[in-house]
Amino acid sequence: MAAPVRSRPSGVGRNPEFGLPSVPGASQEEIRRQNLGAVLRYVHLHGPTSRAELTSRLGLNRSTIGALAMDLAASGLVTEEAPTTARRAGRPSLVVSPRSDRVYAHALSIEADRLRAARVGLGGRILDLREASRPGGMSGCEAVAPLAELVRDMQRSVVPDALLVGGAVAVTDTTRGRDGTIRISGADEALNAALEAEFVAGPGFVAGDMADLAALAEHVRGVATGINDLVYLHGDVGVSAGIIIGGRLMVGHRGHSGKVGHMVVNPDGLPCGCGSRGCWETEIGEAALLRHAGRQPGGPEVVAEVLRAATDGEPAALAAVERVADWLGFGVANLVNVVNPDAVVFGGSLREVYTIGAATVRRRLDTMALPASREHVRLLAAALGRDAALIGAAELAFDKLLADPLNVDVAGRVGTADPA
């Protein structure tokens, strides 16, 4: 738009919800809950922090921070300790640390070829991680029982007073059929029922889209911290995006946003598993990479081999990556024109495609994206690797605790169907 930056209507994008009345006033109790959440969220995201720093970061006074930290410590959510090295004279400020060892969430993922289950401690530390393969054709629902098995297995080594605060599962909508073909599963209405049957689910166990949760993880703990307008692209057998707008995940009307793999970019292109033709996925998905490289269709190992060969300069593999990178830049340019993000992050196998073909991606962006959007956009390689979605799922699971830290009932309602 023609408006200069200074006149950007900050009131529009950020704060008021047009059409909705403001929230009525908060009570003292609500304010306290909010402040407890602010302190716990801060140490959850930034790690051990002194009371003095919390005081200045959160804009609350020193005695308030002290009282909040003591409450959180009494509930077993944080520890407070004197710093090991006092840097200046006077009484040192106590350091508040999240109890990653004790407070944890279950983070699960139902990926195209794999099932993974982790225990993630407050503060985002992966405490335990198990995985199993996902056989071709196994539905999301069918994946729940083996996931629960992984969880039960992990639970055996949990310390007695540990506090499970919730769980979340990251789900992809692409599966590999028994015949090796890629399929797109519809909304899996039965998934929740399956989760409930295996876990004491209730409202504390939530599902999210794989790319959405990976985007969240990169935003909170990865390469995109501090970036509030973000397109995260995840590529494996399919391609999808997690889009963060003004610091909030865009989920769409029914939670189906970010299906960027099914933007049609090439009207004369190949048929796609979704029934359309020339979808972005048909040009930049792993099947396209293997096809261009002259390889037979295959799993992650074959894809990794092609990417390695391209890095080593093998002509056919390099040409294949460059061709995928060209179409990658094409779609990224379209998304940049629509979203005007601060950054685009490449994850999954697209991370390596971008790393190898960055010049090609940029060339497309230079010819197709509007200058106003193009000149400020950063292109970044994802930092969290294949753990991103699990870390994002844990963030989702922790969210209730962080909103209301002393409501231990939250934890009580969410647990595993323990065999004991």
Our finding on whether 212 is near a copy of itself (CB under 8 A) is: yes
DSSP 8-state class, residue 88: S
* Tokens read off for 2: 């023609």
Q: What is the pairing mode between strands 182-184 and 174-176?
A: antiparallel
Number of residues that bind a copy of itself (CB under 8 A): 121
User: Applying CB under 8 A, does 313 fall inside the site for a copy of itself?
Assistant: no
Span from 17-25, 84-92, 154-162, 293-301 in contact with a copy of itself (CB under 8 A): 17-25
Smaller CB distance to a copy of itself: residue 403 or 411? Answer: 403
Q: In the bound complex, what is the minimum distance in angstroms from residue 10's beta carbon to a copy of itself?
A: 9
Pick one of 82, 86, 197, 338: the residue that binds a copy of itself (CB under 8 A): 338
Contact 133, 79 (CB under 8 A): no
The DSSP 8-state label assigned to residue 271 in this structure reads B
Out of 377, 382, 391, 394, name the contact with a copy of itself by CB under 8 A.
377
Q: Mask of contacts with a copy of itself, 285-304, x by CB under 8 A?
A: --------------------
SS3 305: helix
Q: Which stretch binds a copy of itself (CB under 8 A): 22-30, 314-322, 352-360, 410-418?
A: 22-30
Binding positions for a copy of itself, 147-176, rule CB under 8 A:
168, 171-173
Residue 134 corresponds to which amino acid? R
Q: Which of 88, 371, 419, 420 binds a copy of itself (CB under 8 A)?
A: 371
Cα separation values, 239 from 67, 107, 280, Å = 47, 22, 8
Residue 185 touching a copy of itself (CB under 8 A): yes
Binding segment for a copy of itself among 27-35, 111-119, 346-354, 383-391 (CB under 8 A)? Answer: 27-35
CB of 397 to a copy of itself, least distance (A): 10
Q: Out of 106, 134, 183, 219, point to the residue binding a copy of itself (CB under 8 A).
A: 219
142 contacts a copy of itself (rule: CB under 8 A): no
Alpha-helical regions (H) of 136-285 = 144-155, 191-198, 210-221, 280-284
Site string for a copy of itself, 65-104 (x = CB under 8 A): ----------------------------------------
Near a copy of itself by CB under 8 A: residue from 177, 370, 417, 418: 370
Using the 8-state DSSP alphabet, how is residue 27 labeled? P
H helix runs in 125-244, sequence order = 144-155, 191-198, 210-221
Q: Give the whole-angstrom CA distance, residue 328 versus residue 99.
A: 42
Closest Cα to residue 73, out of 52, 94, 96, 55? 96
* Smallest distance, a copy of itself to C-beta of residue 358, A: 20
Smallest distance from a copy of itself to CB 341, Å: 6
Q: Interface with a copy of itself includes 319 (CB under 8 A)?
A: no
- Which residue of 286, 352, 387, 395 would you call a contact of a copy of itself, by CB under 8 A? 395
Backbone angles phi, psi at 363, to 5 degrees: -60, -45
Of 84, 77, 4, the C-alpha closest to 43 is 77
**Helices vs. strands in the chain: H and E counts, helices first:** 15, 17
Under rule CB under 8 A, residue 419 binds a copy of itself: no
Residues 226-265 close enough to bind a copy of itself by CB under 8 A: 226, 228-229, 241, 243, 245-260, 262-265
Cα–Cα distance between 379 and 137 in angstroms, integer? 35
Instruction: Answer for the pair 414, 165: CB distance below 8 angstroms, yes or no.
Output: yes
Alpha-carbon distance of 11 to 156, in angstroms, equals: 51
Does position 191 interact with a copy of itself (CB under 8 A)? The reply is: yes
Q: Which of 209, 286, 352, 387 is the binder for a copy of itself (CB under 8 A)?
A: 209
Output 128 or 326, the one with its CB closest to a copy of itself.
Answer: 326
- 63 scored as a contact of a copy of itself (CB under 8 A): no
354-358: Cβ within 8 A, 24+ apart: 354/325, 354/328, 354/379, 354/381, 355/381, 356/307, 356/310, 356/311, 356/318, 356/321, 356/322, 356/325, 357/321, 357/322, 357/324, 357/325, 357/326, 357/328, 358/325
Among the candidate windows 71-79, 316-324, 336-344, 406-414, which touches a copy of itself by CB under 8 A? 336-344
By CB under 8 A, residue 197 contacts a copy of itself: no
